[in-house]
Amino acid sequence: MTTSVSKKMRLFGLQHLDRIPQIRQLSEEQIFATRVVASVLPFRVNNYVLDELIDWSNIPRDPIFQLTFMQKDMLEPKHFSRMADLIKAKAPKHEINQAANEIRLELNPHPAGQLSANVPEMNNQSVPGVQHKYRETCLVFPSSGQTCFSYCTFCFRWPQFVGLQDFKFTTDEANQFLNYIEQKKEITDILVTGGDPLIMSASRLSAYLEPLLRPEFDHVRSIRLGTKVLGYWPYRFITDRDADELLRLFQKLADSGKHLAFMAHFNHPRELETDAVQQAVSRLRNTGLQIRTQSPILKHINDDPEVWSSMWQKQVEMGMIPYYMFVERDTGPRQYFEIPLVRTWRLYQRAIQKVSGLARTVRGPSMSCLPGKVCVEGIAEINSQKLFVLSMLQGRNPDWVKRPFFAAYDESAVWLDDLRPAFGEKEFFFEAELQKLLRKDAGQSTPKAPALENRRLSS
Ligand code: SF4
């Protein structure tokens, strides 16, 4: 491994498309499509992704290109034409923004009850920037960490990055999340997420994390950072101005006796190949933190067992722990990336069969939906009836976790909503209790969000 040279980050958004050095390799049609889709969904790419990850000789099929550049079919035809017509007609900005917002509201901006059922209350007020869905784990969205080093085209947090203010999660200036966590002694795990929390400077990140070392937070045993920094900007830990300060912060947290973990988001083995990422992983591991890896399974990017098995194998070799394979969530441009559950499970099985036990730590394929994280365990045949075997890896009620349940076989189902209980049952075992839990939450005193969530189990 060679030492990486210093690299200064350059970010390119919709307004800077023409300044991307490689943009001339796209046809006029591709550039226009990018402009149209990026008027609705967030677009941002940096010079590391452009120079070191994308294979420009394989456009548009290259997986990292698909991961970061908009494609026409990421919007439904009716949405694409509406926006394309406005742009061609050089419509005023406010008209384009209004159309974009109307389209965004049709894309299920906050799935899985994120606004209606996951935001807790304290003193009859919502706690800003916090989601608390599972008893022991609390999510925190720091206000300064709500952007990313590049935006993933499939991102389920996309409303954080566009103009939908009612759908943004961020902590407040008073950092009420700390009071909430201090009161809730059942919380053992904090997941700091975004956006990407590593976009913050070392000193800002420290302002969020160091208070958790005080004695009143002794019940918090693990601090996790949900991040794609290793995939998108590994120079954060090598040559960025505060790289060493950041590593010292991690060392301090890891030395405190709490578990410090990166929940590192990698979508393709290409992201593990550069000198920069290898050096960054090595520097991070020297601080004592643990790196666990996760990704959704996505058409056009990683729907190939070979891609997954080589990614997991390489991660193990680099000292990381493969952790989750997710099913693409039911929001944003989901129709472009979705894969039927039957095929998703087969891809997972074929991939996991190729690796040794050390990489079989990956759980999934898992759907993060309203009742919890529902895992497709497999497809079985009972009394000549084909069916899905499911279980929850996490549940709104912890008692639901790891109770196997069954759904009728359906070749085209892509999400839990599409599945029906097997054996002629009317509903899954948790549904009645789920409704009760949601009614209880709805009785909270603060109105949570516009009523956009009308699907049965996913949102
Ligand atoms: S890094 Fe994470 S939050 Fe940011 S765009 Fe990608 S998936 Fe979304």
113: left (phi over 0), alpha (psi -120 to 50) or beta: left
Q: Is the pLDDT of residue 339 over 70?
A: yes
Ligand 1 centroid distance, CA of 160 (Å) = 10
pLDDT 10s digits, 227-240: 999 999 999 999 99
Domains of the chain: 11-105 (no CATH), 121-442 (3.20.20.70)
Backbone φ, ψ for residue 426 (5° rounding): -80, -35
pLDDT of res. 353: 97
Q: How far apart are CA 328 and CA 433, in angstroms?
A: 26
Q: Which of 5-9, 61-65, 245-249, 324-328 has the lowest average pLDDT? A: 5-9
Ligand 1 centroid distance, CA of 200 (Å) = 15
Ligand 1 centroid distance, CA of 161 (Å) = 10
Ligand 1 centroid distance, CA of 444 (Å) = 30
pLDDT of res. 64: 98
Helices (H), 159-304: 176-183, 202-209, 229-232, 243-255, 275-285
Q: Is the peptide bond before 296 cis (omega within 30 degrees of 0)?
A: no
pLDDT of res. 453: 37
Ligand 1 centroid distance, CA of 152 (Å) = 5
For 83, the token pair is 């926006």
- Choice from 151, 167, 267, 293 to test ligand 1 binding pocket (greatest atom count within 8 A of CB): 151
Taking the CA of residue 226 as reference, the ligand 1 atom at the shortest distance is 2
Rounded mean pLDDT of 56-80?
96
Nearest protein CA to atom 8 of ligand 1, as residue:
155
Helix axes 243-255, 275-285, angle to 10 degrees: 40
Q: Which of 161-175, 190-204, 381-395, 416-430 has the lowest average pLDDT? A: 161-175
Q: Which of 40-49, 165-174, 279-288, 413-422 has the lowest average pLDDT? A: 165-174
Taking the CA of residue 42 as reference, the ligand 1 atom at the shortest distance is 5
Nearest protein CA to atom 5 of ligand 1, as residue:
151
Rounded mean pLDDT of 391-402?
95
Q: How far apart are CA 398 and CA 16, in angstroms?
A: 47
Model confidence at 439, pLDDT cuts 50, 70, 90, reads confident
Model confidence at 114, pLDDT cuts 50, 70, 90, reads low
- Choice from 114, 155, 224, 266 to test ligand 1 binding pocket (greatest atom count within 8 A of CB): 155
448 compared with 15, residue with greater pLDDT: 15
pLDDT of res. 448: 39
pLDDT of res. 444: 57
Nearest protein CA to atom 1 of ligand 1, as residue:
228
pLDDT of res. 159: 84
- Choice from 64, 69, 70, 152 to test ligand 1 binding pocket (greatest atom count within 8 A of CB): 152
Q: What is the mean pLDDT of the chain?
A: 91
pLDDT of res. 459: 40
pLDDT of res. 4: 58
Rounded mean pLDDT of 19-29?
93
Model confidence at 450, pLDDT cuts 50, 70, 90, reads very low
Nearest protein CA to atom 6 of ligand 1, as residue:
152
Q: Please list, in sequence order, all residues whose beta carbon lies within 8 angstroms of the beta carbon of residue 140, skipping any fewer than 6 positions away.
A: 129, 130, 171, 177, 181, 190, 191, 192, 193, 208
- Choice from 41, 44, 141, 157 to test ligand 1 binding pocket (greatest atom count within 8 A of CB): 157
Residue ranges around ligand 1 (CB below 6 Å): 148, 151-152, 155, 157, 194-196, 228, 265
Q: Please list, in sequence order, all residues whose beta carbon lies within 8 angstroms of the beta carbon of residue 436, skipping any fewer than 6 positions away.
A: none
Rounded mean pLDDT of 304-308?
98
Count CB atoms within 10 A of the CB of residue 454: 7
Ligand 1 centroid distance, CA of 151 (Å) = 6
Ligand 1 centroid distance, CA of 341 (Å) = 23
pLDDT of res. 440: 76
